[in-house]
Structure 1
């Protein structure tokens, strides 16, 4: 009996630890690819600025189609754990294709399809974590905030490593490193994460909840989309802006992204601790105000240390959005952890569609600096939506 009790007590801790490691590895896989993608397309694939923007737009469209299909299936039937494992393996295969292929259209069609499955592993992992927290009685807000902090931790070290690998050893090595992260993540998912098969009761409850909060869900979707669009423009534009217009080092882009991600970790944890007291709507409004100040500052600040210091506002903007935004959707869509989490994730992808289209065109017609005016306009749109949103 004592032995059985000890095992019972240890299991939840091992499971929680596995969730933390999987969150970190999925974050690393993304942080090794996204920050350098525009530089990869411009230098290795020889794509023009408009074609770079089109690539981000196309990848976002494909990502939305893939994730929505998987979200619908994962909430209704099957084992989410097996789905996450499959996504990790396909993500690794996509990274291998990017490592050896330089054909723009093959990468856009086949490569993006595979990496879209890989990126879907992250929201599905968060959905499984929410179900696990609800089933075990764990505090969902704090647990999700800690998981989000793991993703941010991955983005602290991921972008600097990505630029170091790409510039020092080549993009092939960088993409193979991302593939290795996906494979390791898949092994941990298969061995350590819990299996939670769906029941008919959960599916029926799912169908009724969204109608009660449809207006608020739509407003939140629009607000998050505007915020992620601004962030997408920043990630696409910043490396090229610094190299071509500010004449700064490419590595500084990795430092900026890593600094912002590092500051996001305490932001997420603090937001998780105070969410019950102040409410998710209040925290989202604080985040969008920080975003306004950040993008306004980008219009005038050009020095290296000033740009690094400005990341404090960026961290507040993205840290709260990434942590609280997802939980807000889950509150508005009870019983639909997969659909709610994927809907939040798709605000990122819709944001990339707009960001890729606008950033590429604006940069080609005017300048990379002009893109930040468009980003600021997106944040203003988010302000308007959030101030019409009711508290959850």
Structure 2
């Protein structure tokens, strides 16, 4: 059996033979389906339905990001203090449902801003903090933390495979109203599944990297993690916001092509996510993570070269490998830097995904009216370089100093 097959089979076997891992896997699959169904089309919806400019379309993510940053950090601190994740997951899913479904009926840019801001707090980081708690609880799983995390993260990718495809199909036949309604209903379905299937005891304040009672406050290493991750995900947010416009406006392709390209990435994530976790367990989490960031720099440089559609398709396969490092392995590394505050560590890394939209929308939005849209991807390459340098000089001893 090849290494790819071995890592995939091993990860799937571990996750699906364990009730706790399996429950989180299924939850993230439904979330991926919900988010993947509407997020790639948000900027296109804003320009076509709300008649927003390219800058305004990108700015939709800004209030959502700011609210998510403030609320998520506070609640993550509480979850570490209480040793509970499930109440915060339930709250986040409920808010997501309430904020998303009214989008189906609004034609006001201002109302859309408010609704998306309300939905800024999400359950993603709490699911992965809970995953870490479960890994700690099952001592035999500690040595396979990367493989387990990569496999569970793959669930979101699986949902994202079908989400963009279904989204394009729904838009063609039912419009954006039906799209947002179904996305909200999927969030509600996830809430029902969590209430029914997720069982959580009070978790020890520890991680796969260490153990001790969680201290108060946010350690400086997590502030550094947040800032560095902010630049990683500014690239990812910029891709999500402006690649659809690149495809529809610059290349004059249909909305269905947007769904196809995002689906290509998600399909190949099914291979690269568990494989990335497997190799990170073998060569080291930090080393694999830095390699992924270097590849992200290359991706944005190539994207900025005004490539035809065929070139963009190839790049989306490459991006799937990058996500295995930035979305999967990177989170494991962030947790290792603050082993006594897993909720905060996970939130510091994952909240940067949302907050990064502020950076990318302001940077790319201000440039898109001055230079060709593909050329704005150069700034995302610069962001990735900054992030790579910051993470390169973060020392593992930061976690040891806290013990």
Q: Which residue of 1 aligns with 2:119?
A: 115
CA distance in 2, matches of 1:337, 1:206: 9
Task: Encode CA deviations 1:51-99: one digit per residue, 9 max, x unaligned.
Answer: 1222222221111122112212211127421221222122111111111
Shift of 1:380: 2.1
Q: What secondary structure, in the 3-state scheme, does the structure 1 residue paired with 2:372 have?
A: coil
1:144 to 144, 149, 170: 149
Equivalent-residue separation in structure 2 for 1:241 and 1:201 (angstroms): 44
Q: How does 1:14-29 map to 2 (within 5 A)?
A: 14-29=19-34
Shift of 1:199: 7.2
Question: What root-mean-square deviation, in Å, do the aligned CA atoms of Structure 1 and Structure 2 show?
Answer: 2.4
1:135 corresponds to = 137
Deviation at 1:142, TM superposition (A): 2.2
- Normalised by the length of structure 1, the TM-score is 0.89
**CA distance in structure 1 between the aligned counterparts of 2:205 and 2:269, rounded to whole angstroms:** 38
* C-alpha separation in 2, matches of 1:336 and 1:201: 7
Alignment partner of 1:336 out of 333, 337, 341: 341
* Distance apart, 1:355 and its partner CA: 0.7
Say if 1:79 and 1:197, in contact at 8 Å, map to a contact too.
yes
- Is this contact kept in 2: 1:281–1:389, CA < 8 A? no
- Kindly indicate whether the alpha-carbon contact (under 8 Å) linking 1:80 and 1:196 is maintained by their aligned counterparts in 2: no
CA 1:301–1:205 in structure 2 vs 1: closer, same or farther (change >3 Å)?
A: same
How far the C-alpha of 1:195 sits from its partner, in A, is: 2.0
Q: Is the 8 A contact 2:306 2:374 kept in 1?
A: no
- 1:306-328: per-residue Cα shift (whole Å, max 9, x none)? 21111222112222100011111
Q: 1:16 to 1:293 in 2, by over 3 A?
A: same
Q: Is the 8 A contact 1:210 1:332 kept in 2?
A: no
Aligned equivalents of 2:17, 2:247: Cα separation in 1: 46
CA deviation after TM superposition for structure 1 residue 103, in Å:
1.7
Q: Which moved further from structure 2: 14-23 or 71-80?
A: 71-80
CA distance in 1, matches of 2:57, 2:312: 24
> Is 1:352–2:357 an aligned residue pair?
yes
Shift of 1:259: 0.8
Give 1:124's aligned residue.
126
Whether the 8 Å contact between 2:69 and 2:352 is mirrored in structure 1 is no
1:159: which partner in 2?
A: 164
Correspondence 1:58 to 2:63 = yes
Deviations 1:297-343 (A, max 9, x none): 11225222221111222112222100011111111111222111111
Query: Equivalents in 1 of 2:86, 2:148: separation in Å?
Result: 18
Q: Which residue pairs with 1:3 in the alignment?
A: none
**Corresponding position of 1:327:** 332
- Which one of the candidate residues 273, 280, 289 is aligned to 2:278? 273
Change in 2 beyond 3 A, CA 1:210/1:103:
closer
Distance 2:205 2:287 in 1: 36
Q: CA deviation at 1:135?
A: 1.0
2:289–2:326 contact (8 Å) kept in structure 1: yes
SS in 1 for 2:213: helix
Q: Secondary structure at the match of 1:47?
A: coil
Note closer, same or farther for the CA distance 1:386–1:47 as it changes in structure 2 (3 Å cut): same
2: distance between equivalents of 1:53 and 1:321? 22
Q: TM-score, normalised by structure 2?
A: 0.86
Q: Which structure 1 residue ranges, 5 or more long, are not aligned?
A: 1-10
The structural deviation recorded for 1:38 is 0.5
- Change in Cα spacing, 1:135 to 1:382, as seen in structure 2 (3 Å) is same
- 2:45 maps to 40
Say if 2:125 and 2:350, in contact at 8 Å, map to a contact too.
Answer: yes
Query: Which of 169, 177, 182 is the aligned partner of 2:174?
Result: 169
Q: Go from structure 1 to structure 2 and tell me whether the alpha carbon gap of 1:51 and 1:209 turns closer, same or farther (over 3 Å shift).
A: closer
Shift of 1:124: 0.9
Alignment of 1:183-332 (within 5 A): 183-197=188-202, 205-207=213-215, 211=219, 214-215=220-221, 217-332=222-337
Within 2, Cα distance between the matches of 1:257 and 1:159?
7
Distance in 1 of aligned mates of 2:217 and 2:93: 31
Q: Secondary structure at the match of 2:65?
A: helix
